[in-house]
Chain A
Amino acid sequence: MPQTSQNTPLSQTPAESASGGRSLRCGLSFVLLSVLLAFLFVWNVNSGSVDLSVREIAEILLWRRGDETAVNIIWQIRLPRILAAMILGGALSVSGFLLQTFFHNPIAGPFVLGISSGAKLVVALSMIFLLGRGITASSAVMVLSAFFGSMISMGFVLAVSRKVRQMSMLVICGVMISYICSAVTDFVVTFADDSNIVNLHNWSLGSFSGTTWGNVAVMSVIVFSAALLVFLLSKPIGAYQLGEDYARNLGVNVRLFRVGLILLSSVLSACVTAFAGPVSFVGIAVPHLARNIWKTSKPILIVPACFLGGAVFCLFCDLIARTVFAPTELSISSVTAVFGAPVVILIMIRRRRAM
């Protein structure tokens, strides 16, 4: 007699234990990454030309006690920079995740689609324009110009994506847009005659250095509010992952939703470009790694995971940029490219095999 089928309700079914394993994995991943973030935070605070013990750092951070130079270095230079790396890293990853969702394309990201370069171009233009008149560009102006530039590039990418369905073609177009924008930026920077151009040049390569507390305040407000909105959009993003038609049938207002995705991802990546210049590959590599660590693509988990992962990734890369060839600093993009580009290649190879 087939008795086994009647026994199953008593014992745990394989499906239940598997989903139990999944939630354990998710929780554990969050904990581990948070620990890693804390560790990198301390390491970052501690590394540089002035060496400090962990005890000293704790005192400086908690009570601002200790050697005055050390307090200043940590509070005025290292801490804002670390916070910027974390916040902007998170912003880039979430922005990449949104673009991947939008284009149904795992190698979409603000950098490869030329959106960062568009932002860079407009920021450079407005900086030169203002510097020429003796005005230093404020955070707000930088962010607005970056957003404007992002939207221009995004417009091109959207126009192309209506014509081509292949993901590789879309990326090639993005890379071309990116080259054109970079060329124009270089051209403008070369012929602009101002001593401040040196700063501009450094910025256009990408770096978290020189971040002020004022910058941190502005970026926190923008990034955290945008990221919160993204998190609240988790449900429609999840529905959209099965494709536009299924999403529409489930009652998602697809047109409004798409506009929202584009605006949010542009705001996030524009904020990064405005403060740190273009930063490559974080937007693709981190969401991909996050999906594979958490083994899911549920937006409600992946959005926070991307943010956390991006913070860890950028903090790690900035540490390397700062310390490996100290006192010479590397541009953040070179470091993120070294770690991010292989991930992109891996995705492409895997995809090919799957198809």
Chain B
Amino acid sequence: MAKEFFFYTEEMTVGYDGKPLIRDIRMELDRGEILTLIGPNGAGKSTILKSITRQLGLLGGCVYLDGQPMRQMSGKEIARRQAVVLTERIRPELMTCEDVVATGRYPYTGTLGILGAEDRAKVRAALETVHAAGLAQRDFNAVSDGQRQRILLARAICQEPELIVLDEPTSFLDVRHKLEFLEILKQMVREQKVAVILSLHELDLAQKISDQLLCVKGDRIARHGTPEEIFTSETICALYDLAEGSYNAAFGCVELPPVKGTPEVFVIAGNGSGIPLYRRLQREGIPFITGILQENDVDCLAARDLAAEVITERAFEPIGEEAYALALSKIRQCRRVLCPLQTFGTMNRRNEELLREAQRAGLLTSDE
């Protein structure tokens, strides 16, 4: 028998106004796991999340939480098991951060919603979890975006859910607050074994925090897998239609397309010395060739996305005759040679020879 997941969907179809947008969505998630939806804008990440949180009705299929179809659960029961952090900005009037967090206790309070001592303690604990105890009495509209997102996370936490759904929680945040927010989330998942489903635009962050990823594109789920399976150059380029530019799987970042045209500059590089220079040449719009790089050189990994042409040698091998001859002929076609490389050893002895040849031909220019 197949393993029973804490949260899963069966042939879920989502969309607006009865028009299906994405069909046959399968999600399987255990407690203490983070599932991230990635994909281009407008692909339907929010639609999927809204369907899970029942803001939108399902157009087909079923969502199960703890083995039970969510359709059969009451609003109150769902409220005690599932909390949300939404994208829409809210501007409540005259509510302190504590008041906002306290709304998370709604499913637990009585008819008039008066907080008991236990509720208050939980509100305080939630504020402490997101490192925002000091903000309790501040007006919610007066705190920064980063603080606001943390308060909304605290609100979700004090709802004591088993599943938290977050729709692009880091969109308005700067780098520091993005990291801080996701760190809190990750820690909470680890300690309290909460299941988390969220959508993110930041691929680098998605790669670092997710246990599973769902690529949303077109009318089906394009791919589903672990970060190792998803973050390959091919998958990401296909997901975002990166005809221009590329995704560098080794560095986990996207690159602009290499400058096209006849190369004017030859860069003798290796051991990471070339990367800053590659980027500068790209910014300045100068097409360049680089070499001779062993395939395991960090410069080689970057150069494949940035250089018009890369002259390579097999990994762990000293530079051979063939590559050297090719490089030399290319140097002669270039107007300038740059050499950020300072160290030469057994494996790249030939690069030193290239440097001397360039010097002799008067092609070598200094870095500036």
Contacts and interface: CB of A to CB of B under 8 A. Distances in A.
Interface of A: 14-15, 18-19, 106, 232, 234-235, 238-239, 241-243, 245-246, 248-253, 291-292, 295-298, 300, 354
B5 interface: no
A296 to B, nearest CB: 6
Interface string B48-60: 0000011100000
Given A15-B98, A19-B137, A300 B90 contact: no
A241 B114 contact: no
A110 B87 CA distance: 31
B323 interface: no
Nearest to B54: A248
A148 to B, nearest CB: 32
A245 B104 CA distance: 13
B78 interface: yes
State the 7 A-B residue pairs at the shortest beta-carbon distance, nearest first: A235-B113, A251-B79, A251-B75, A250-B106, A18-B137, A251-B76, A297-B94
Nearest to A354: B141
23 contacts: A15-B98, A235-B111, A238-B103, A239-B103, A239-B113, A242-B100, A245-B55, A245-B84, A246-B84, A248-B75, A249-B78, A249-B79, A249-B84, A250-B104, A250-B107, A250-B159, A251-B77, A252-B106, A291-B94, A296-B94, A297-B92, A297-B95, A300-B113
Contacts of B209: none
Interface residues of B, number: 38
A239 B78 CA distance: 15
Contacts of A243: 86, 88, 90
Given A242-B100, A248-B54, A250-B103, 9 more contacts: A234-B113, A238-B113, A242-B92, A245-B84, A249-B53, A249-B78, A250-B107, A252-B75, A291-B94
Contacts of A234: 112-113
A19 B137 CA distance: 8
A241 B111 CA distance: 17
Contacts, number: 91
B94 A251 contact: no
B67 to A, nearest CB: 21
Interface in B161-190: none
Contact of B112 (A14, A232, A252, A354): A232
Contacts of A232: 111-112
Given A14-B137, A19-B137, A242-B90, A249 B83 contact: yes
Nearest to B110: A235
Interface in B138-170: 141, 159
Contacts of B17: none
Contacts of A241: 92-93, 95, 103
A328 to B, nearest CB: 40
A106 B82 CA distance: 31
B109 interface: yes
Nearest to A291: B94
